[in-house]
Structure 1
Amino acid sequence: MRIGELAAQAGTTTRTLRYYESRGLLPARRNGNGYRAYDEADLRLLRQIRTLQDFGFDLEQTRPFVECLQAGHPEGDSCPASLDVYRGRLAELDECLARLHEVRDRVAAQLARAELRVEAEHPGGPEPHCELSTNHAKTKES
């Protein structure tokens, strides 16, 4: 298949395919008339790259998976280098989640402190209204 067909089937652009080619991720084969020629294996390779990018992998992190496919493995993640990339990405995600949990805990603590202050300042009364509040503004207009 030609580059336009491959791009359409892979859900990407010809420009992206040329970029992958320049980075050595997509083989640059030419047929007799000089057009780039691709096959189903190239489509599978592109789908692997797209899936990994959807998971947040950068383009360079996809290289071991591409090389694994090109080496003839039916799945791009069955090689040791691919597994190492998975492990590294999982460690990055775990670290990110830990940071998010820490921030969430700090925001929750700040909210609790703010609610205590509001209750102390207005015991049993209604919550204070902001002048910019849409409900308050509608009340003033009525």
Structure 2
Amino acid sequence: MHIGELAARAGMTKDSIRFYEKAGLVTGRRAAGGYRDFPLEAVTRLHCVRTAQTPGFTLAEIARHGEELRDAPDRAEALSALYGDKIPVIATRMAELAALRADLHARVGTGCPLRVAGRAGRAG
């Protein structure tokens, strides 16, 4: 199928598909006239990419783990393990964001966003 049909079926733009193609997440071959021709399974692949981005997997991680998942004897188990590995990464990021939120709260209403309330004379 041509890129326009793939975009419609996958619910994304042609530019997104071109981006994912450059990242190696989906492949199409050049048909006559220079048009990209994608297999039907590219729709499923693109849905998997979008689904994997939701819990925070980067495109590099998706590309790297995609091959592992295709070759895994039990894909559900392999995917479950990848999700399990992602949980501590998300927990760390949540802690970092909570600290950032607390820091921003301390700066609000100080008259100077570089000054943290309760730390007179120190720039934060």
Task: Tell me the TM-score normalised to structure 2 length.
Answer: 0.62
Correspondence for 2:85: 88
Correspondence for 2:109: none
1:78 positional shift: 5.3
1:50 positional shift: 0.4
Query: Where do 4+ consecutive residues of structure 1 move more than 3 Å?
Result: 68-75, 82-85, 96-103
Q: Pick the structure with greater CA Rg.
A: 1
Map 1:56-95; keep pairs closer than 5 Å: 56-68=56-68, 71=71, 75=75, 79=78, 85-95=82-92
Query: 1:94-134 CA deviation, whole Å, 9 max, x = no partner?
Result: 3345567889xx8xxxxxxxxxxxxxxxxxxxxxxxxxxxx
SS across alignment from 1:12: coil
CA distance in 1, matches of 2:15, 2:83: 28
Does 2:47 align with 1:50? no
What amino acid maps onto 2:17 in structure 1? L
CA distance in 1, matches of 2:14, 2:8: 9
Correspondence for 2:38: 38
What amino acid maps onto 1:18 in structure 2? R
Structure with the bigger RCO (C-alpha within 8 Å, sep 6+) is: 2
Contact 1:28 1:36 in 2 (8 A): yes
Task: Tell me the TM-score normalised to structure 1 length.
Answer: 0.55
Q: Percent identity?
A: 32
CA distance in 2, matches of 1:39, 1:55: 27
1:71 positional shift: 4.9
Unaligned runs of 5+ in 2: 103-124
Distance 1:86 1:64, change over 3 A: farther
CA distance in 2, matches of 1:40, 1:83: 26
Map 1:1-142; keep pairs closer than 5 Å: 1-68=1-68, 71=71, 75=75, 79=78, 85-97=82-94
